[in-house]
Amino acid sequence: MKIRLLLVPIFLYSFCNAQTDQDILKTIYKTSLTNGMSYQWLDYLSNTIGGRLSGSTNAELAVQYTKKELEKLGLDKVWLQPVMVPKWVRGEKEMAYFTTSGELKKVNICALGGSIATPENGLKAKVIEVGSYEDLESLGEAKVKGKIVFINRALQPDLINTFEAYGGCSTERYRGAAEAAKYGAVGTIVRSLSSRQDDYPHTGSMSYGDLPVKKRIPSAAISTNDAVKLSEALKRDKDLEFFFEMSCQQFDDVESYNVIGEITGSEFPNEYIAVGGHLDSWDLGDGAHDDGAGVVQSMDVLRMLKESGIQPKRSIRVVLFMNEENGLRGGRKYAEVAKEKGEKHVFALESDAGGFTPRGFSFDGNDLMLKKIDAWRPLFKPYLIHFFEKGYSGADIGPLKNDNILLAGLRPDSQRYFDHHHATNDTFEHVNKRELELGAATMTALVYLVDKYGVETSLEMKEIKD
Ligand SMILES: [Zn+2]
């Protein structure tokens, strides 16, 4: 059975020159849905290894595992690219409660990535609630000093693209503590960047910017349910006291790796197409959606090209980036080395928006490139992939940007992504096998088309038949 699945597509591709792009795409989707590897790889990455925060043992295990699996695929090259990454450790599970009218109410919090610990026996203070860190200026030091700043900003529910809603609040999480500290706050509690009401706190990166070490204050996320409770309690009792305890720690940078595999191009080996996701994840869940899904889909792109008997003209690389979450060191390192070596990257595709049903792609390139890509849209229509738009591609491939490269991001349905993002419930059972495989096929199809027709602006627009 397995041999048949392997041979049929090879036969079709090799002997049937009249094979249309529609036929090739059909083969790719069939291979993914009947013989895909992405779900099996994700199972291992999520359930056997688990959360893979940069600098952790699990991140190292994920490097070794994915390298070994890529080596099994018979690619032309597989290697590790060293990169120094930050090492931040959460420590003991965080604890928090508030007291009002003599009653103690426990709440769910988690330290934000990069935060300092609270004093050993915790931190207790009165609370001042703000809608955004910008409100601090109008309150001034007199109302903020000595208090915990509670930044209660909810994701805007009427935005259909939930990434926009997330983007509208992420600066609060990232800079909130640094801004509050300037007014003498002793800590910050930030409402979780989640689309729904539940009890899971969502972590994520934060930064103190250039704030001196002595002035830094601990910062945590609170679950959306508890943010509402705290806000209501504050309306009744503005003098209530909030307590939290965290033991997180920042260590010196450690060495880690980007994992890279390559199929060398038959006609233009010095032109590169990179496809990737990030291998690191936050530590609370197992990082199945963010970004285990993108990792295994990217690995499957190269496997499916081989399985479908497609010999690419250009060199196709899978790049599993390390440290997207709290440093972007892997993405920067890959672009830096590519520049040093003078490698001409013509296209890069990232999957880092969850393993949900694919809707299309966002493209970051010049208008000629986008016009050419848009002509391929009908090829994706049978798979309900209609959404092609100009826009942001992804964090890890961003550093590759120049005038001659087209960048793209896989765009899955985003409605449930922020229910899981950076939280304990970002786990394998919340990834649907078919949805994940459709994403892998969609990425493979686009890589196949870009490799076949190129994206060079100087070339005459080729007419896409079929
Ligand atoms: Zn991610």
The tens digit of pLDDT for each residue in 23-46 reads 999 999 999 999 999 999 999 999
Q: Which residues contact 239 (CB under 8 A, 6 or more apart)?
A: 126
Tell me how far the alpha carbon of residue 309 lies from the centroid of ligand 1, in angstroms.
Answer: 31
Please, what is the average pLDDT of the chain? 94
Question: pLDDT tens-digit profile of 382-393?
Answer: 999 989 999 999
Tell me how long the chain is.
466
pLDDT at 18: 67
Report the alpha-carbon distance of residue 297 to residue 428 in Å, rounded.
Answer: 14
Q: Which H or E run contains 126? A: strand 123-130
- pLDDT average, residue stretch 393-404: 96
448's tokens = 């196949």
- 127 CA → ligand 1 middle, Å: 32
B/e letters for 220-258, b = 16+ CB within 10 Å, e = fewer, are bbbbbbbbeebeebbeeeeebebbbbbbbeeeebeebbb
Strand partners, 123: 244
Q: Is the pLDDT of residue 307 over 80?
A: yes
**CA 249 to CA 159: how far, in whole Å?**
36
Token pair belonging to 92: 């003991």
**Residue 424 pLDDT > 70:** yes
Tens digit of pLDDT for each residue in 249-298?
999 999 999 999 999 999 999 999 999 999 999 999 999 999 999 999 99
Q: What pLDDT, on a 0 to 100 scale, did the predictor assign at position 17? A: 54
Among residues of the chain, what percentage have pLDDT more than 90? Answer: 91
Count each helix (H run) and each strand (E run) in the chain, helices first: 14, 16
C-alpha 352 to ligand 1 mean position (Å): 5
Does the pLDDT at position 396 exceed 90?
Answer: yes
For residue 310, pLDDT beyond 80: yes
**What distance in angstroms lies between residue 8's CA and the mean position of ligand 1's atoms?**
36
Give the model's pLDDT for residue 456: 66
Compute, in angstroms, the gap from residue 98 CA to the centroid of ligand 1.
32
Q: How far is CA 123 from the centre of its chain?
A: 32
Question: Which residues lie below 8 Å from residue 57, measured CB to CB, with a gap of 6+?
Answer: none
User: Can 137 be counted among the known catalytic residues?
Assistant: no
Overall average pLDDT of the 424-435 stretch: 98
CA 419 to ligand 1 center in whole angstroms? 14
**pLDDT confidence of 455, banded at 50, 70, 90?**
confident
Angle 444-404-443 from CA coordinates, rounded to 5°: 10
Does the structure show a pLDDT above 60 at 218? Answer: yes
Catalytic residue, chosen from 69, 129, 262, 324, is 324
Q: Where are the alpha helices (DSSP H) in 266-359?
A: 293-307, 329-340
- Give the other-Cβ count within 10 Å of 198's Cβ: 17
Say what percent of the chain tops pLDDT 70.
94
Residue 357 has pLDDT above 60, yes or no: yes
Residue 94 CA to residue 113 CA, distance in Å, equals 13
Residue that is written with structure tokens 């627009």 in the block: 461
Helices 21-35 and 433-453, interaxial angle, to 10°?
150
Average pLDDT over residues 363-373: 93
User: What Rg, from alpha-carbon coordinates, does the chain have?
Assistant: 24
Residue type, 147: K
Predicted confidence (pLDDT) at residue 12 exceeds the cutoff of 70: no
| pLDDT tens digits along 155-165 | 999 999 999 99
- Give the 3-state secondary structure of residue 401: coil
Distance 291 CA to ligand 1 centre (A): 5
pLDDT at position 457: 52
C-alpha 186: how far from chain center: 31
Residue 149 predicted with pLDDT over 70: yes
Residue 158 backbone class (left: φ over 0; alpha: ψ -120 to 50; beta: rest): alpha
- Contact (Cβ atoms closer than 8 angstroms) between residue 274 and residue 397: yes
pLDDT at 9 over 80: no
Whether the predicted pLDDT of 464 surpasses 60: no
pLDDT tens-digit profile of 43-94? 999 999 999 999 999 999 999 999 999 999 999 999 999 999 999 999 999 9
Q: What is the pLDDT of residue 19?
A: 87
Residue 14 is predicted with a pLDDT of: 45
Give the pLDDT of residue 386.
Answer: 87
Q: What residues have CB less than 8 Å from 84, skipping those under 6 apart?
A: 253, 254, 255, 256, 329
Candidate from 201-215, 259-273, 448-462 with smallest mean pLDDT: 448-462
Which stretch of DSSP H or E encloses residue 84?
strand 77-89
DSSP letter, residue 431: S
